[in-house]
Amino acid sequence: MVIRGKVHKYGDDIDTDVIIPARYLNILDEKELGKHCLEALNPEFAKKVSTGDILVAGKNFGCGSSREQAPRAIKGCGISLVIAKSFARIFFRNAINIGLPILELEKTDRISTGDELEVDLSQGVVHNRTHGLNYKGKEFSPFILEIISAGGLLNYVQRKKKGTPCTR
């Protein structure tokens, strides 16, 4: 699974209330949620994202409450992958459950807004096409990759039930 996109970069401790404020939690549509993604940090964020872009952050991304709407908002605004030094455990699980690819990478400080990345999730390799540099992140197990590839846990289970391969 290879993902290519332009970087939007933020810092440490981005909590779920910053990702999607509580006043929007009643919105069920993922795309509508996405319109409000990270607006507390940057009111224009969702308008600047192109489908396929990559969000890069520091440590403890997704800390705070366990709202599943946070990864849904990120996915809904068009972000194809979140790379961070570390993720809050519940955000990590929620992202996998809804099929939002994420990657832990220690060297996020070497990546800047606007950089073009190519990421091989199966190998955990990040290639910064802008600077010609490669970084090694934490790779996922084949099982987790299957869930992400299926578009989330629910899709994975439904496809397994039908005997359909779990690829998009």
Task: Please report, for the chain, the start and end positions of each structural domain, with discontinuous segments joined by +.
Answer: 2-162
In this predicted structure, what is the pLDDT of residue 164? 63
**Cα-Cα-Cα-Cα dihedral sign, residues 148, 152, 153, 158:** negative
Evaluate whether the domain defined by 2-162 bears CATH number 3.40.1710.10: no
Q: What pLDDT is stored for residue 159 in this prediction?
A: 85
- In this prediction the pTM is 0.92
Taking the chain (168 residues) in runs of 10, the rounded mean pLDDT of each run is: 96 96 94 96 96 98 93 97 97 95 96 97 96 94 91 88 65
Would you say 80 and 5 are in contact if contact means Cβ atoms under 8 Å apart?
yes
Q: Which residues of 22-80 form beta strands (DSSP E)?
A: 54-57
Query: Which pLDDT score is estimated for 6?
Result: 98
Q: Which helix (H) or strand (E) holds 95?
A: helix 89-98
The span from the CA of 64 to the CA of 72, in Å, is 16
